[in-house]
Amino acid sequence: MNTKAYFQNKTLSSVFKNWVLDFFATKQFFSEAKPQNKLIQSQTWADSHIDLEALALKPAANIVTIAAGACHALAYLSTKPAAVHCVDNNPAQLALLEIKAKALMHLPDYDAVLKFLALPKQSDNLKRYQRHLRANLSDQASRYWQQRNLLGRPRYYAFSQNLQEHGYYNLSLRCLRFLLKQLGARFDKLQQAQNLEQQNRIFEQDILPALQNPYFLFLMRRRFVLHRLGFKQNQISRVKNANQDEVSQILIQRLRRLFCDFALHDNHFAQQVLGQTYQITQQQSLPLYLQKAVFPQLRQYAHRVHPQQSRLIDFLQQQHAESIDAFVLQDHLDYLHPNDINTLWQEINRCAAPGAKVLIRSLGTQLPLPQRVFQSTESHWQTNPLRNQELQSKDRCALYGSLFVFEKINKSN
């Protein structure tokens, strides 16, 4: 299709604009709240390599993390932790975590795990589920994966298709990618790039014009579209407070970094945005928890992953003082009111063992912690801004605006 000629026709342009608005302006797209009993994301959008470098986890560490897509939590097993508590209010995310962990534990070998969790169009995965996993799932996880959709297929059929295409965020990403293709983006050319120089040149010539198209910019100014892409209102405000540019311009900057600052063949985040499946022939491009080098340790320690259906604050209130060595909050603070952050940090401070670390990501570039959370505590926390920037610059996900690592230091020391 000649996109340029297509949009020069005023009538067709109006038709396209109305189609786009109708497509996004459904009831579910207007809704800011994400579904609470449906899968939000099938993979974690955070670089596990950076997590491990930032946290420097020691053996027998007690870890608390947001469950998200489970990739990062399973990667932590490579450090031989005492426990990885994965907290989420959404049972769908916990069911995903559990089936991934049980796949590591009960499937026959590494190749079977790779086929089950990484490769699309594997009809044998239905047999793998029935033979090795179903009986080992908890009742709650089993009910989730056995539930049928409108076509009468159980949810576990996702593993015979392409798991990475399932989930609220993944559907939004596919819609966004479809729109950009209609506006002329040539993602196929980017996939053919051989080095960073070619990636940069192709991005400027074949991707950026679509991102700067008036129709795309128009949609990125619509709040309901941003909500459907996963941005809550306080996240949008946080991004804008950090940079007075439009959200669309910030998105363009981060996509440029994702596609231009890291080799595509090493970056599964970029591959997923481009619509590719995992490149299993290149181990370094796989999520860490799917790499063969760490598989023996993950298989040995997968039973130490503990799904926790709860709010994070409620879970921490049930833990003993100074019992947790690492907290991985991801972008959880972006979703909270400052008063809720203050309450949460009080519990983190109480539960944190000496030397404990807290990992925080944010869509904005500023620390999402009010200054008052550090006041009136028996301990203080330190962070290294230069180290934070270094870690952020190496994070291949590239879609967050900042990363912060805090370490608990007793005042008596």
Average pLDDT over residues 99-128: 96
Q: Model confidence at 245, in pLDDT bands (50, 70, 90)?
A: low
Q: Model confidence at 240, in pLDDT bands (50, 70, 90)?
A: low
Sorted by sequence, the CB contacts under 8 Å of residue 89 that are 6+ apart come out as 36, 309, 310, 311
Phi/psi of residue 44, each to 5°?
Answer: -85, 130
Q: What is the DSSP string of 352-380?
A: EEEEEEEEEEESSSS--S-GGGGSS-SEE
| Pick from 107-116, 194-203, 215-224: least confident | 215-224
- Does the pTM surpass 0.85? The reply is yes
Q: Model confidence at 241, in pLDDT bands (50, 70, 90)?
A: low
Phi/psi of residue 56, each to 5°?
Answer: 45, 55
The pair of three-digit structure tokens given for residue 52, joined into one six-digit string: 């491990």
Taking the CA of residue 364 as centre, how many other CA atoms within 13 Å lie in the half-sphere pointing to its CB? 21
Give the model confidence (pLDDT) of 366-409 as tens digits.
Answer: 888 877 666 655 568 999 999 999 999 999 998 888 999 999 98
Quote the percentage of the chain above a pLDDT of 90. 66
Q: Where are the domains of the chain?
A: 3-30+166-283
Q: Are strands 402-410 and 352-362 parallel, antiparallel or unpaired?
A: antiparallel
Average pLDDT over residues 116-127: 95
Average pLDDT over residues 70-92: 97
pLDDT reported for residue 129? 98
End-to-end CA distance of the chain: 68
pLDDT reported for residue 269? 94
Computed from CA positions of residues 17, 20, 23, 28, in that sequence, does the dihedral angle turn out positive or negative?
A: negative
Q: Is the pLDDT of residue 14 over 50?
A: no
pLDDT reported for residue 24? 43
Q: 141 or 38: which carries more pLDDT confidence? A: 141
Q: How far apart are CA 35 and CA 323, in angstroms?
A: 33
What mean pLDDT value characterizes the chain?
87
Q: How far apart are CA 373 and CA 377, in angstroms?
A: 8
Average pLDDT over residues 66-92: 97
Give the model confidence (pLDDT) of 336-355 as tens digits.
Answer: 888 899 999 999 999 999 99
The residue written with tokens 């798991």 in the block is 163
- Counting other chains too, the contacts that 236-245 makes at CB distance below 8 Å and 24 or more residues apart are 238/334, 238/362, 238/363, 238/364, 238/366, 238/368, 239/363, 239/364, 239/401, 241/364, 241/366, 242/364, 242/365, 242/366, 242/401, 243/365
